[in-house]
């Protein structure tokens, strides 16, 4: 922890994500705004007419967590003071389940929104996490991450 930010949580999880737990972890008297982004598995994939049944995520764990930490630090430097959590699932994620959660607590909403957007876009661009779509017909395909 330094003068630019409070709490920083970055991790990968094979277990279901609880965004509300992350919100509670970041709440404190210094922050008047909490913004969260939760990406969930959806039934359709842009550009593909097949129904998605689930997603499977693989990560280069050590490098992924380190890069998530770098992104959190950058967000704190650009938009701080703030607290931030970046958590991404690994393994199979069913329809409607969260795949990624980014939560930012800041003194004011503007910086909280900006930091949250920055963090998810950078995570999708830079962190070594790979997504495989599992379709209703049993076929699979690896899908490239896009920032937005």
Per residue in 39-94, pLDDT (tens digit) is: 999 988 777 778 999 999 999 999 999 999 999 999 999 998 999 999 999 999 99
Two tokens, residue 91 = 């393994």
Supply the pLDDT for residue 64: 98
CATH number for the domain whose boundaries are 5-141: 3.90.1170.40
Asked whether the predicted pLDDT for residue 146 surpasses 70, the reply is: no
- Spatial strand order of the sheet with 33-40 comes to 5-13, 82-89, 98-106, 33-40
pTM: 0.91
pLDDT, residue 49, reads: 79
First to last CA, the chain: 29
Cβ atoms 88, 145 nearer than 8 A: no
């Amino acid at each position: 922890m330094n003068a630019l930010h409070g709490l920083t949580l970055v991790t990968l999880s094979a277990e279901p994500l609880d965004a509300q737990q992350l919100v509670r972890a970041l709440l404190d008297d210094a922050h008047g705004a909490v913004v969260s982004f939760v990406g969930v598995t959806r039934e359709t994939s842009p550009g593909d007419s097949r129904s998605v049944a689930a997603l499977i995520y693989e990560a280069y764990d050590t490098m992924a967590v380190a890069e998530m930490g770098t992104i959190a630090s950058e967000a704190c430097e650009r938009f701080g003071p703030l607290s931030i959590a970046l958590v991404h699932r690994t393994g199979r994620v069913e329809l409607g389940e969260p795949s990624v959660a980014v939560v930012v607590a800041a003194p004011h909403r503007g910086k909280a929104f900006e930091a949250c957007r920055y963090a998810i876009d950078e995570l999708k661009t830079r962190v070594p996490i790979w997504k495989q779509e599992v379709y209703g017909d049993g076929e699979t395909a690896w899908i490239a991450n896009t920032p937005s």
